[in-house]
Amino acid sequence: MSTVKRMATVLSVAALALVLFGSRAQADTWNDLSYVTFSGPVTLPGVALPAGTYMFTKVPDTPLVQVFSKTGNQIYATLFTIPDIHNTPASHTIVALRETPVGQPPAVRVWFYPGHDTGSEFLY
């Protein structure tokens, strides 16, 4: 399969996942819903978030993570991730940041849902 066809397939699956799961905002473990509060601005691939509380959810059975407003009525990003293995399951939500150049907000590197030893590393 050519690279263009493969990318078209991946984007089609991602679009379908957005249509099917994009508006879901209940606190269920099936989508690993977590509320994350940042005391200052942060960045995710392609999006800057001001300080505040956000909903992080996984799109089930995909490598996608969605970031919503605290109330779930606005989506800020749908992002591809890769697995990041932690030695022990997280006892609470963990968000690790990566360094950025001076004067730029930190970038979110990985998000771990409580009870999981595999987190979602964001692709920059």
What pLDDT is stored for residue 29 in this prediction?
65
pLDDT digits (tens, 9 = 90+) for 75-121: 999 999 999 998 999 899 999 999 999 999 999 999 999 999 999 99
pLDDT tens digits, residue range 38-68? 999 999 999 999 999 999 999 999 999 999 9
Percent of the chain with pLDDT over 70: 77
Q: Which of 52, 83, 55, 64 is nearest to 17 (CA)?
A: 64
Q: Would you say how long the chain is, in residues?
A: 124
Supply the pLDDT for residue 17.
35
Give the closest residue to 54 by CA, choosing from 78, 72, 41, 31.
72
Q: What pLDDT shows up at residue 28? A: 52
pLDDT digits (tens, 9 = 90+) for 9-19: 433 333 333 33
Residue 39 pLDDT? 97
